[in-house]
Amino acid sequence: MTARRTSRRRKQRKPVDTGAADDDAAVDGAVDDAASGGGAKSRQGAQQHHKKGTSKSASDPSGATLETASNSKSGSNKKRRANGSGQSTRKAAKNAQQRPKGQSTTTTKRHAIDSDEEDDDGDVDGDSSSGGSGGGGGGGKSNHKSTSSSNHKSTSSNTSNSNDNSNDNSNDNSNSSSGSAATNAGDPVDQQEQKDGIDPEVLDAARETLRHQLLNPPLPNTARHRETEQLLFDTLYAGVVRGESNSVLLTGPRGSGKTTCVQSVLQKLRQDPAAKERGFILIELNGLVHGDDAAGLKHMASQLRVAASEDVDEDEDIASSAAETARALRQALQQGSGATSQCIIVIVEEFDVYAHFGQQTLLYTLLDHTQLAAVPMVVVGVSCRVDIYSLLEKRVLSRFSQRFVHLFNAWADFPTYLQQFVDMLLLPDTFEPASFRHAWNVHVRALQHNPTLERELREMHAISTSDLRPLQKMAFQAVTRTAPARPFLRAEDVFEEKMRQTRDAKVTLMLDLSALELCLVIAMNNLRYRGTMSFNFEGVYATYKAFAAGINKHGVDFYRKPVALKAFEHLSALELIRPASTTVASKGSQHAATDVYAAVHLLVDDLQVMQVVDKCTSLSTRVKMWAKAHGL
């Protein structure tokens, strides 16, 4: 095929500047993908489009799998809509051939701008095609999803041997399009794997390993974390071995590894010979679980008695009130002495919850005890609130040791953030067989060179530099998506998962609404545009009615008030609108009969409405125009 020849020739002529192994495979894939796309309609249109698409993808130096896929797809889609035969192959190839050599450098520079444009392009195309084919569900999917799904379609349309390789998007494409595996000579591991096929059991094992790894992430290896760990360990060690009471407060945003840090320190402490010999009593409290002072104190008391190997039932009331429990606890604790008694380590998670109860009895009792020289006790508070200091009462604060540790992950620079993502997906060195591990890791490392994925990750990085949990979730889902047919991580899987997790839920939900419900939303949006901030059903219906009356001849259905009221109620059940007065807004009364005059707020902003209007296939053009013009 001409396309392949050109790209190969190019490979010889122009050395590739980055070291990624499958660059040229990607280029091939892009061309082939475009080629296998579908029918051709107008020669000029296809050519124009392809000139843009292929030239850019060809020039892209870094395995531009997704970019190229969406690129060439936007062209092929247009054609597919026209007619479905596979004629564009030669044309696309010719384009690639005709492309002047110097063009590649200029397009590379324009890449950033270009990619955005391309994205929009794919957007429109993807949607219209999914709506047209009727299989896509019209609404629910993000544009990117439809992009890659139709990419699937194109690869599976000519299935030659796509079932056992598909290690990377590029390879997948190049193989499935023509069945000649000779092109990707750059990646020996892949070829070997293709020959062997992947053992499903190995894949399962890999998946399980990664699931474990992702769910139990290790403590981030930063200086701050190490310092904190050391400090905590020293404090606890002093408490356990030397009987020094103390208190530490560990703060930090969610997902910054506070709990992990505490747990790892406890683990170390358990293994430490000196601490082991002395032994300690561990009491873990959690503000979410032991929801108030009384419950917390009770739990502590019963834990102590369990530790003292008294046979107790937690249900049994130790004392009737929190105050009595506290007193009993205090007495129990004062009986020991620092020299002989075992140290009590109290871990209080969600420390801030206890600060919200009137007297802060629990915190007071705990911290007060650390000041007494009786039984040694170390209190470790864990909280996500940075302002915890200002939440505490004076008498509590005065008993606190003032040891604050603020823990945070800051992968301020993007490469380390990216590295975190890659690290969490790499198979550990202990994993066997090594050949699979190697192949897997190669693919994972290749992910970071994918420009589209990088863009998305940059966006996530811009949102939060410290929280890795979104990355974990994304990685988790991407790992579970692997199957024996496509055993390695693919950029598009990760990408699709990212889109799925971060898309605008309101827009997705609204795309599933009926035309009438959307009309009401649009009516409200239009009213808001004209300066009304809260609406009632009567007003919304009047607006809708005025609109429908104006264009009734043009086939827009008009619905009577009770039907519209039902639709309105549905919107309220989906919580897209909310009663304006807070007294009515108490969550229980949502399903009471709707007062048609009660003021409501629309909880969807103009941008979201416009997105829905753009994407929705069930709305008539008139309604769309009405929405766009904001009813003016």
Subset of residues 327 to 386 that bind other proteins, contact rule: CB under 8 A: 350, 352-353, 384-385
Tokens of 552: 């009734």
Q: Confirm or reject binding of residue 305 to other proteins (CB under 8 A).
A: no
Closest approach, Cβ 473 to other proteins, in A, equals: 5
Contact 37, 153 (CB under 8 A): no
Helix axes 188-196 and 434-447, enclosed angle (nearest 10): 130
Q: Confirm or reject binding of residue 561 to other proteins (CB under 8 A).
A: yes
Q: Confirm or reject binding of residue 508 to other proteins (CB under 8 A).
A: yes
Q: Confirm or reject binding of residue 188 to other proteins (CB under 8 A).
A: no
Tokens of 91: 């044309």
Q: Which residues contact 320 (CB under 8 A, 6 or more apart)?
A: none
Candidate segments 45-53, 56-64, 161-169, 471-479, binder of other proteins by CB under 8 A: 471-479
Closest approach, Cβ 220 to other proteins, in A, equals: 17
Q: Confirm or reject binding of residue 579 to other proteins (CB under 8 A).
A: no
Judged by beta carbon, residue 170 or residue 534, the one nearer other proteins is: 534
Q: Confirm or reject binding of residue 318 to other proteins (CB under 8 A).
A: no
SS3 for 377-444, per residue? EEEEEEECCCCHHHHCCHHHHCCCCCCEEECCCCCCCHHHHHHHHHHHHCCCCCCCCHHHHHHHHHHH
Q: Which of 1, 82, 219, 295 binds other proteins (CB under 8 A)?
A: 295
Q: Which residues contact 23 (CB under 8 A, 6 or more apart)?
A: 16, 61, 62, 63, 186
Q: Confirm or reject binding of residue 512 to other proteins (CB under 8 A).
A: yes
Mapping DSSP to helix (H, G, I), strand (E, B) and coil, where does residue 535 land? strand
DSSP one-letter code for 486: B
Residues in contact with other proteins, counted by CB under 8 A, come to a total of: 82
Span 74-93, contacts to other proteins by CB under 8 A: none
Span 451-470, contacts to other proteins by CB under 8 A: 469-470
Contact 285, 262 (CB under 8 A): no
Judged by beta carbon, residue 141 or residue 399, the one nearer other proteins is: 141
Q: Confirm or reject binding of residue 607 to other proteins (CB under 8 A).
A: no
Per DSSP, what are the bridge partners of residue 347? 284, 380
Mapping DSSP to helix (H, G, I), strand (E, B) and coil, where does residue 292 land? coil
Give the residue among 247, 457, 506 at the shortest CA–CA distance from 368. 247
Candidate segments 42-50, 265-273, 329-337, 539-547, binder of other proteins by CB under 8 A: 539-547
Closest approach, Cβ 289 to other proteins, in A, equals: 5
Provide the residue count of the chain.
632
Q: Confirm or reject binding of residue 594 to other proteins (CB under 8 A).
A: no
Q: Confirm or reject binding of residue 539 to other proteins (CB under 8 A).
A: yes
Span 132-161, contacts to other proteins by CB under 8 A: 134-141
Contact 67, 23 (CB under 8 A): no
In whole angstroms, what is the distance from residue 439 CA to residue 431 CA? Answer: 12
Closest approach, Cβ 254 to other proteins, in A, equals: 7
The position carrying tokens 């008294």 is 310
Q: Confirm or reject binding of residue 592 to other proteins (CB under 8 A).
A: no
Q: Confirm or reject binding of residue 289 to other proteins (CB under 8 A).
A: yes
Judged by beta carbon, residue 335 or residue 390, the one nearer other proteins is: 390
Judged by beta carbon, residue 50 or residue 258, the one nearer other proteins is: 258
Span 214-233, contacts to other proteins by CB under 8 A: 215
Closest approach, Cβ 40 to other proteins, in A, equals: 28
Candidate segments 89-97, 163-171, 319-327, 572-580, binder of other proteins by CB under 8 A: 572-580
Q: Confirm or reject binding of residue 566 to other proteins (CB under 8 A).
A: yes
In whole angstroms, what is the distance from residue 528 CA to residue 541 CA? Answer: 14
Q: Confirm or reject binding of residue 542 to other proteins (CB under 8 A).
A: yes
Judged by beta carbon, residue 25 or residue 516, the one nearer other proteins is: 516
Q: Confirm or reject binding of residue 506 to other proteins (CB under 8 A).
A: yes
Span 248-267, contacts to other proteins by CB under 8 A: 254, 259
Mapping DSSP to helix (H, G, I), strand (E, B) and coil, where does residue 482 land? coil
Contact 612, 507 (CB under 8 A): yes
Q: Confirm or reject binding of residue 291 to other proteins (CB under 8 A).
A: yes
In whole angstroms, what is the distance from residue 527 CA to residue 532 CA? Answer: 6
**Residue 146 region by backbone torsions, left for phi larger than 0, else alpha for psi between -120 and 50, else beta:** alpha
